[in-house]
Amino acid sequence: MDAPQICFVVFDGFQPLDLTGPYEVFDHAGYRSRVVAPRAGLVRSRSGLPVHAEFGVDDVDPAGVDTLVVVGGAGVDEARLDAALVGWIAAVGVTARRVASVCSGVFLPAAAGLLRGRRVTTHWKRRDQLAAEHPELIVDCDPIFIRDGRFWTSAGVTAGMDLALALVEEDLGRDVAHEVARELVMFLRRPGSQSQFSVPLWSAQPSSDPIRAVVDAVHAEPGARHGIGDLAARAGLSPRHLQRRFTSELGVPPAAYVERVRVEAARRALAEGDDPVEAIARRCGFGTAETLRRAFHRNVGVPPSDYRDRFRSTREYA
């Protein structure tokens, strides 16, 4: 099939990479893209980089938009007060085949009333604001991107490229997406279920070598023995001393940290493969499927089987 046209929405104070990253992905796949702003002309990004928007919202028939991509950036807080822009996005949402947002761009389709009852994501720093201002949304800032029906949302900056690559694969197939990824030296189809909360984000960084050694060991092999005695021996500390220093430096006790890392490893395994839950539980250090289920409920809120079904049913993009 021919690649459809992509319509990007920008505004003063947008994040340049939210535009240029996905734009390059679509361009390499043969899509035609156009940039729309509240008014045609130069639009200044958050960093000061100017971009020429060929069209203003008054120049584009909403019914003619196939795929809308709304970029993010600090300027979104002011842009969502622009009634003409929000109204145009709302009109596009009625007929467009897909509506997508990158990072904080989600605030615009949310303001337009398009995401009510939808599961969405955004940059982790914007999670609390989005949830507070839009209680009608189901905000999940763990995945790097989420698909809920014809609405797609992604986390910050580079996650927009992952989302764009997933859209290319949906439209044109895996072979085309693979060639685009190779050309741009990207990880092919980084699954949307991958957490945006790597260790530097969901915990503090270790400030001492003994604790850093423990953290590195846990991430290198989540399924290995990581009891308090094992970790203390690796750090060269007593179990009580390790417990105190680890919690002080990272903000969580060692056992909770290990469980979180193991849950993330299990999430990837569930989303990307077909191994039985029991096998994943053993490989990720939980021992039994029941232990994995309890940890999943604590950290994710759903059983492992439901998590897998949800992602598999959306071709691993959700």
What is the tens place of the pLDDT at every residue in 222-256?
Answer: 999 999 999 999 999 999 999 999 999 988 899 99
219 & 293 share domain: yes
Identify the CATH number of the domain in which residue 131 sits.
3.40.50.880
Q: Is residue 206 one of the residues assigned to a domain?
A: yes
What per-residue confidence (pLDDT) applies to 107?
98
Using the predicted structure, report yes or no on whether residue 1 has a pLDDT greater than 60. Answer: no
15 & 137 share domain: yes
130 & 162 share domain: yes
Tokens of 197: 């909360």
Using the predicted structure, report yes or no on whether residue 7 has a pLDDT greater than 70. Answer: yes
Nearest partner of 145 among 128, 158, 136, judged by Cα: 158
Tokens of 53: 């928007």
Tokens of 92: 């596009």
| Tens digit of each residue's pLDDT (9 = 90 or more) over 276-309 | 999 999 999 999 999 999 999 888 778 898 888 7
117 & 172 share domain: yes
103 catalytic? Reply is yes
Identify the CATH number of the domain in which residue 271 sits.
1.10.10.60
Its sign, for the CA torsion 195, 197, 200, 206, is negative
81 & 153 share domain: yes
Q: How many domains does the chain have?
A: 2
Nearest partner of 149 among 111, 118, 108, 195, judged by Cα: 118
How far apart (Å, rounded) are the C-alpha atoms in residues 179 and 232? Answer: 47
How far apart (Å, rounded) are the C-alpha atoms in residues 106 and 76? Answer: 9
113 & 236 share domain: no
> Last residue of a domain, which of 126, 158, 183?
183
Using the predicted structure, report yes or no on whether residue 318 has a pLDDT greater than 50. Answer: no
Q: Is residue 217 one of the residues assigned to a domain?
A: yes
pTM of the predicted structure, to 2 decimals: 0.65
Q: Which helix (H) or strand (E) is 235 found in, with range?
A: helix 228-235
What per-residue confidence (pLDDT) applies to 189?
47
**pLDDT band at residue 45 using 50, 70 and 90 as cut-offs:** very high
Mean pLDDT over the full length of the chain: 88
169 & 43 share domain: yes
Residue 151 amino acid letter: F
> Last residue of a domain, which of 148, 183, 218?
183
* 97 within 8 A of 66, measured Cβ to Cβ: yes
97 & 236 share domain: no
Q: Is residue 165 one of the residues assigned to a domain?
A: yes
Q: Is residue 190 one of the residues assigned to a domain?
A: no
262 & 147 share domain: no
231 & 132 share domain: no
Q: Is residue 233 one of the residues assigned to a domain?
A: yes
Q: Is residue 211 one of the residues assigned to a domain?
A: yes
Nearest partner of 163 among 190, 187, 126, judged by Cα: 190
Residue 141 phi, psi (nearest 5):
-100, 25
148 & 24 share domain: yes
> Last residue of a domain, which of 156, 183, 210?
183
139 & 228 share domain: no
Q: Which domain holds residue 115?
A: 5-183
Q: Is residue 107 one of the residues assigned to a domain?
A: yes
How far apart (Å, rounded) are the C-alpha atoms in residues 66 and 6? Answer: 7
Rg from Cα positions in the chain: 21
